[in-house]
């Protein structure tokens, strides 16, 4: 049994930099035709020089694979039309982080006053640049995303021409918001389709499943699965694959992030087959993103075959999801 995917895309990917970039970038570029690259480095990617230099480092690390890094800029309220226009086709989207809410987000937005954000958001609206948002408040950890939904809705109402991507959504409330505003879209991760908080902390603590936003309740996972498996046209795959060295995960102050890049397509195929929805997988992992972002990725065909495959215990210093376990699907050929 096989399945063919045309130009699969990962629309939310962390590649880090330096040695980590060299380790993890090829694990995405081998099987994905492209990915939306997150800009929360230290320092953040917030100039054209930084963006182009990071793009070039990514291309060097991917070793000639057919792979398009779709670059993003770290959001600042001070960006104007001329500044953003100067990026031309090199800039695909801008990523907004609430200050201090996740890894390397200290320079993010401290408040969501519409008038403060207006200059950048109006320029983005005119240029057709999507706004990607890590949507969480500083409230109780299980309610942070739900509490942020009114912020999404306020932005969608005040900037109706702005495409707003609710990143790595985890709640039923976020799914419900998709159909309230024409300009709201979302990415969904592999791990949030599979786990709940019980998998992270219900028994022995599993640090390699700890992430932000944290996994939620079964009712939330059910809503995410329904949208993804039925290929809701406003959702797309974004792994939020976030590598950290093993010592940073297995420690006090565990770093937030689940590393899924090398096993994402195989695990997604297993999930879609389990629910008899393989016919919808192409839309979730590629077609919807092409439509939402208006992009044409490089031609790349990934053929997966149903055969048991053992997941390595680590890739360099990074431990993947399902480390040491067996998946029922594997990549057979990449054309």
pLDDT in tens, 165-188: 999 999 999 999 999 999 999 999
Query: Alpha-carbon distance 72 to 95, whole Å?
Result: 6
Residue 214's alpha-carbon distances to 143, 145, 197, in angstroms, are 10, 9, 7
- Catalytic positions, written as ranges: 240
Q: What is the pLDDT of residue 110?
A: 86
Structural domain span for residue 306: 2-334
Q: What is the pLDDT of residue 70?
A: 98
Q: Return left, alpha or beta for 18; rule: phi > 0 is left, psi -120 to 50 is alpha, else beta.
A: left
Count Cβ atoms below 10 Å from residue 114 Cβ, excluding itself. 12
Count Cβ atoms below 10 Å from residue 123 Cβ, excluding itself. 18
Please identify every stretch of the chain with a pLDDT value under 70, giving residue numbers as ranges.
none
pLDDT in tens, 34-84: 999 999 999 999 999 999 999 999 999 999 899 999 999 999 999 999 999
Q: What is the pLDDT of residue 196?
A: 98
Q: What is the pLDDT of residue 12?
A: 98
Q: What is the pLDDT of residue 243?
A: 98
The count of structural domains within the chain is 1
Q: What is the pLDDT of residue 253?
A: 93
Query: Alpha-carbon distance 306 to 323, whole Å?
Result: 19
Q: Is 261:27 a contact under the CB 8 Å cutoff?
A: yes
The enclosing domain of 290 has a CATH number of 3.20.20.140
The tokens for 88 are 């031309």
Query: Alpha-carbon distance 117 to 100, whole Å?
Result: 18
C-alpha torsion sign, points 167, 172, 175, 176: negative
């Amino acid at each position: 049994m096989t399945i063919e995917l045309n130009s699969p895309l990962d629309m939310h990917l962390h590649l880090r930099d330096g040695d980590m970039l060299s380790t993890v970038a090829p694990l995405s570029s081998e099987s994905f035709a492209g990915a939306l690259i997150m800009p929360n480095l230290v320092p953040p990617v917030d100039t054209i020089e930084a963006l182009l230099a990071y793009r070039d480092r990514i291309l060097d690390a991917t070793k000639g694979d057919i792979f398009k890094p779709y670059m993003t800029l770290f959001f600042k309220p001070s960006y104007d039309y001329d500044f953003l226009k100067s990026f031309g086709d090199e800039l695909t989207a801008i990523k907004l982080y609430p200050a201090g809410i996740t890894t390397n987000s200290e320079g993010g937005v401290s408040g969501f006053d519409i008038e403060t954000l207006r200059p950048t958001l109006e320029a983005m609206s005119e240029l057709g640049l999507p706004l990607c948002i890590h949507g969480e408040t500083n409230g109780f950890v299980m309610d942070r995303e739900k509490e942020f939904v009114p912020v999404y809705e306020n932005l969608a109402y005040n900037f109706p021409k702005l495409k707003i991507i609710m990143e790595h959504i985890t709640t039923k409330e976020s799914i419900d918001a998709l159909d309230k505003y024409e300009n709201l879209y979302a990415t969904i991760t592999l791990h949030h389709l599979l786990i709940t908080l019980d998998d992270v902390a219900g028994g022995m603590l599993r640090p390699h499943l700890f992430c932000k936003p944290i996994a939620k309740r079964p009712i939330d996972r059910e809503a995410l699965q329904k949208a993804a498996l039925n290929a809701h046209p406003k959702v797309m795959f974004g792994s939020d694959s976030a590598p950290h060295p093993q010592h940073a995960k297995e420690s006090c102050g565990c770093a937030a992030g689940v590393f899924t890049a090398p096993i994402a397509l195989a695990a997604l195929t297993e999930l879609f087959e389990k629910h008899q929805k393989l016919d919808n997988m192409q839309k979730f992992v590629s077609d919807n993103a092409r439509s939402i972002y208006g992009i044409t990725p490089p031609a790349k065909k990934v053929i997966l075959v149903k055969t048991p495959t053992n997941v390595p215990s680590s890739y360099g210093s990074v431990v993947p999801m399902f480390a040491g376990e067996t998946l029922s699907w594997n990549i057979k050929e990449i054309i």
